[in-house]
Amino acid sequence: MTTHAIQSRDDVMRVAKSETLITPRFYTTDFKAMDALDMNPVRAEWDAMIAEYEGDNNHDHFQRDATFKDEIRQLPPALQQEFLDFLVSSITSEYSGCVLYNEIRKHVDNPDIKQLMTYLTRDESRHANFINASLRDYGLGVDLANLKATKKYTYFKPKYIFYATYLSEKIGYARYITIYRQLERHPDKRFHPIFKWFERWCNDEFRHGESFALMMRAQPHLLRGANLLWVRFFLLAVYATMFVRDHTRPALHIAMGIDPDEYDYRVFDITTEISKQVFPVSLDTNHEAFRAGLRRLVDASSGYTVAKAQGGVIGLAKRAGWALVGVATFAKLYLHPVHRHDLPQRMRVAPAW
Ligand SMILES: [Fe+2]
Ligand SMILES: [Fe+2]
């Protein structure tokens, strides 16, 4: 069940600004270190990728066609709430990328990084604005300038930005394409026209992920030794966050005809397959014990939410209890043995799902 009721613009801003373990964050980083990056080790692949950005094959995509408005219908209240929550969380996450990339762009002189960040900002700003138009249909909409000025920023070292951003771009691709394919097979379940845009949209996210893949492959030390402990941490943090968040939206998944477990495991499979281009380790998400751990995290999260609503000393004690369960379960999942593989010679992957 969605914990936030979204009825007004204030509600939208409150949800967009909220800071919980599963809500999207805004990031800042060490711009000097970003400026010092050297892309020469991957020059040929880098130049080919930049040429794709220049070609801008999605330049005409993020505009509504004549039928868009006609297809918007009244949704049952529970679905409406979860869909709005989904839109607000998606826009926050798109705009988080936009703000971070734009800040890096402004603070570096390195021509490779500046050029890339200009394209990434262009794409994410289109994505965020396209979602915002759908919120405005409901008389809502996120005040992006206000969000930029008032949302809390989390500082991440560049290395964490690489791991986290790479994964969120690739998992974003896997999520959008999985929803798109499902609704392509079952058009009767496409309850809002925005989903028709997901196919070409997700190719942007895929390419963004490719950019971070190349930036990591240009710095091979990020992908071996003790850094693999960080890779494992970020893989788990990103996967677990998505799993818990998706399990707070049952009506949305029923409406799309998707079982959230199956959907999330499919998204993990796709992301894991792609991430072998950079990460020599991957999580064992098809193992029964691993899946049991993920379900336990969902229990811990909903137990925590209920205890918080209960309040008082007993509520506080219960919250502490569920927080402990969450931490212990996360630790157990972290220690679950990972798969290992060699990195391929060819770094780039095609969006083939
Ligand atoms: Fe995006
Ligand atoms: Fe992106």
pLDDT in tens, 262-296: 999 999 999 999 999 999 999 999 999 999 999 99
pLDDT surpasses 90 at 124: yes
Query: How does residue 4 score in pLDDT terms, banded at 50, 70 and 90?
Result: low
Pick the ligand that lies closest to the CA of residue 209: 2
Q: What whole-number distance in Å separates Cα of residue 89 and Cα of residue 243?
A: 14
Q: How would you classify residue 311: left for phi > 0, otherwise alpha for psi between -120 and 50, otherwise beta?
A: left
Burial 54-73 (b: 16+ CB within 10 A, else e): eeeebeeebeeeeebeeeee
The first and second tokens of residue 34, run together, are 């970003």
Name the band, by pLDDT with cuts 50, 70 and 90, for residue 20.
confident
Contact 129, 176 (CB under 8 A): no
Which sign, positive or negative, has the C-alpha torsion 279, 217, 120, 204?
Answer: negative
Query: Residue 353: CA atoms inside 13 Å, Cβ hemisphere, count?
Result: 27
Q: How far is the CA of 221 from the centre of ligand 1 (A)?
A: 28
- What does the mean pLDDT of the chain come to? 94
pLDDT tens-digit readout, 201-214? 999 999 999 999 99
Q: Which amino acid is at 215?
A: M
Indicate whether 3 pLDDT > 70.
no
pLDDT at 286: 97
pLDDT recorded at residue 204:
95
> Is 168's pLDDT higher than 90?
yes
Q: What are phi and psi of 153, to 5 degrees?
A: -105, 140
The pLDDT of residue 262 is: 95
Helix, strand or coil for residue 27? strand
Per-residue pLDDT tens digits for 60-104 = 999 998 899 989 988 999 999 999 999 999 999 999 999 999 999
Conformational region of residue 139, where left means phi above 0, alpha means psi within -120 to 50, and beta covers everything else: left
* Per-residue pLDDT at 16 exceeds 60: yes
DSSP 3-state assignment of 281? strand
Q: What integer is the mean pLDDT of 114-129?
A: 96
Asked whether the CA dihedral 171, 174, 176, 178 is positive or negative, the reply is negative
CA angle 300, 301, 304 (to 5 degrees): 85
Give the closest ligand to the alpha carbon of residue 129: 1
pTM of the model: 0.94
pLDDT band for position 2 (50/70/90)?
very low
Residue 349, pLDDT > 60, answer yes
Q: Give distance in angstroms: CA of 207 to centre of ligand 1.
A: 10
pLDDT for position 24: 87
Beta-bridge mates of residue 153 = 26
- Which letter, b or e, does each residue of 210-230 get, where b requires 16 or more Cβ atoms within 10 Å of its Cβ? bbbbbbbbbbeebbeeebbeb
- Could you tell me the distance, in angstroms and rounded to a whole number, from the CA of residue 288 to the centre of ligand 1? 32
Q: If you measure from the C-alpha of residue 10 to the centroid of ligand 1, how many angstroms do you get, rounded to a whole number?
A: 24
* Model confidence pLDDT, tens digit, residues 293-342: 999 999 999 999 999 999 999 999 999 999 999 999 999 999 999 999 99
Position 1 scores a pLDDT of 42
- From ligand 1's centre to the CA of 124, what distance in Å? 4
> If you measure from the C-alpha of residue 97 to the centroid of ligand 2, how many angstroms do you get, rounded to a whole number?
7
CA of 289 to the centre of ligand 2 (A): 32
